[in-house]
Amino acid sequence: MEDLDKIYWTLQEAEGNLLGLLSNPIQDLLSDDELLQFTPMRVEKRKTEWLLGRLTAKSLVTSPNLPFAGVRFSSITIANHPEGAPFIAKPRSHGCISISHRQNIAVCAFTPSPDMTIGIDIEQIESRELSFVEDFFTQSEADYTKQLQEETRHLWSTLVWSAKEAVLKAWQKGLRLDTRSIEIFPIDPETLEHTSTQWKSIKWKANIKGFPQCWLGWQRWKNFVITLACTTLDKESQPDPAEIIRIQLENFPIIN
Whose CA is closest to 98, among 39, 172, 148, 160? 172
Kindly indicate the confidence band of residue 47, based on its pLDDT and cuts at 50, 70 and 90. Answer: confident
pLDDT at 59 over 90: yes
Kindly indicate the confidence band of residue 2, based on its pLDDT and cuts at 50, 70 and 90. Answer: very low
pLDDT at 37 over 60: yes
3-class secondary structure per residue, 162-214: HHHHHHHHHCCCHHHCCHHHEEECCCCHHHHHCCCCCCEECCEEECCCCCCCE
Alpha-carbon span 236 to 73, nearest angstrom: 38
Angle ∠(252,255,256) on CA atoms, nearest 5: 155
The whole-number average pLDDT for the span 164-189 is 93
pLDDT for position 20 = 58
Kindly indicate the confidence band of residue 197, based on its pLDDT and cuts at 50, 70 and 90. Answer: confident
Whose CA is closest to 75, among 60, 63, 62? 62
pLDDT for position 100 = 97
pLDDT for position 26 = 55
CB 111 within 8 A of CB 95: yes
Tallying the residues shown for the chain, one arrives at 256
pLDDT for position 253 = 83
CB 53 within 8 A of CB 99: yes
pLDDT for position 229 = 96
Alpha-carbon span 184 to 197, nearest angstrom: 21
Kindly indicate the confidence band of residue 125, based on its pLDDT and cuts at 50, 70 and 90. Answer: very high
Alpha-carbon span 238 to 203, nearest angstrom: 11
pLDDT at 233 over 70: no
Per-residue pLDDT tens over the stretch 63-121: 999 999 999 999 999 999 988 899 999 998 889 999 999 988 999 999 999 889 999 99
Angle ∠(57,61,67) on CA atoms, nearest 5: 155
**% of the chain residues with pLDDT over 90:** 68
Q: Which phi and psi (to 5°) does residue 100 adopt?
A: -145, 150
pLDDT at 54 over 90: yes
The HSE-up count of residue 40 (CA atoms within 13 Å, CB side) is: 4
Q: How many CB atoms lie within 10 A of CB 110?
A: 26
Alpha-carbon span 232 to 211, nearest angstrom: 11
Whose CA is closest to 58, among 72, 48, 46? 72
**% of the chain residues with pLDDT over 70:** 90
pLDDT for position 1 = 38
Alpha-carbon span 116 to 111, nearest angstrom: 8
CB 117 within 8 A of CB 172: yes
pLDDT for position 92 = 85
Computed over every residue of the chain, the mean pLDDT equals 89
pLDDT at 25 over 70: no
Per-residue pLDDT tens over the stretch 243-256: 899 999 998 887 65
